[in-house]
Amino acid sequence: MDPTEETRQRPARLAIGVIGAGRVGSVLGAALRRAGHEVVAVSAVSDASRDRAAERLPGARVCEPADVVSAADLVLLTVPDDVLDPLARGLVGTGTRVEGKLVAHASGRYGYGVLAPLTEAGALPLALHPVMTFTGRPEDIDRLANCSFGVTAPEPLRPIAEALVVEMGAEPVWIAEERRALYHAALAGGANHLVTLVAESAALLGEAGVDQPARMLGPLLGAALDNALRLGVGGLSGPVVRGDAGTVAEHIAELRAHSPESAAAYVALARLTADRALAAGLLKPQDAERLLDVLQT
């Protein structure tokens, strides 16, 4: 990008306020501070949040949400999804002045519509969702580099929203307001369920006598993830895509004996895998029939 164009698109230095200085809010605040903005005020209820704010956002005043808004040009509402709407309504209901202020949330579920009460009061709404998992550890801030953000905003605010993401070292990806729920379901299904599947695989390996399940799973799952990202469904391997109905039946029997709750998940995922493999031409119809017979028992 031409340096002049980059300067023109970069937001002016902003006073940042963070309502909810938890794992996500403290990271976004720290990333914006690193980019040259000033975090001036935060709200933090728990001791952990206060400690996190002191460590990552030094110099920021800890105060009530209304005072955070008053002190800031850009307010980050980094609270749980179910709290966003009540918080937006509450700020307006208490007469907090929001006119002309940028107000951003980091929820994947919502676009900017959830901020409607604030928008109607004159705020400028942004949805900036970091596609990353945060653990509260020091490396969280560095993980923002090169990750994606799902960005949704009114069209006139799109350049500001995207520029803020770029300043944090990440890549803005535009998500239409009406597609936010689907977008978030896709991410949660991939990331959250992946953790559950890996943890369950490790537990079952331990029961099978493997001393270091993580060491065994690491190379296999790393290769599987790489194949999936590069090849899509073409990266499938294993008994389902091979049509090994007998092997799948034995798996189900063992899981029902040792982990019944895992058996149900295995059957559901095997059905989905068979459907995808059949549609892609990777699984022969006659093999699919035998598999489906096994998966319906």
Please report, for the chain, the start and end positions of each structural domain, with discontinuous segments joined by +.
3-175, 183-295
pLDDT at 8 > cutoff 90: no
Strands (E), the chain: 15-19, 38-43, 61-62, 74-77, 102-105, 124-130, 148-152, 171-174
CA contacts within 13 A on the Cβ side of 167: 25
Distance separating alpha carbons of residues 246 and 240, to the nearest angstrom: 10
Q: What is the pLDDT of residues 119-164, one digit of tens each?
A: 999 999 999 999 998 887 778 888 888 899 999 999 999 999 999 9
pLDDT: which is higher, 223 or 1: 223
Q: What is the pLDDT of residues 210-222, one digit of tens each?
A: 999 999 999 999 9
Tokens standing for residue 272: 């989905």
What does the pLDDT read at residue 181?
95
Tokens standing for residue 59: 């110099």
pLDDT at 297 > cutoff 80: no
Instruction: Specify whether the CB–CB gap between 123 and 105 falls below 8 A.
Output: no
Q: What is the pLDDT of residues 276-291, one digit of tens each?
A: 999 999 999 999 999 9
What does the pLDDT read at residue 2?
46
Instruction: Give buried/exposed letters for 162-181 (b at 16+ CB in 10 A, else e).
Output: bbbbbbbbbebeebeeeebe
CATH number given to 3-175: 3.40.50.720
Question: Per-residue confidence at 5, pLDDT binned at 50, 70, 90?
Answer: very low
Nearest CA among 154, 203, 150 for reference residue 179: 150
Query: In residues, how long is the chain?
Result: 297
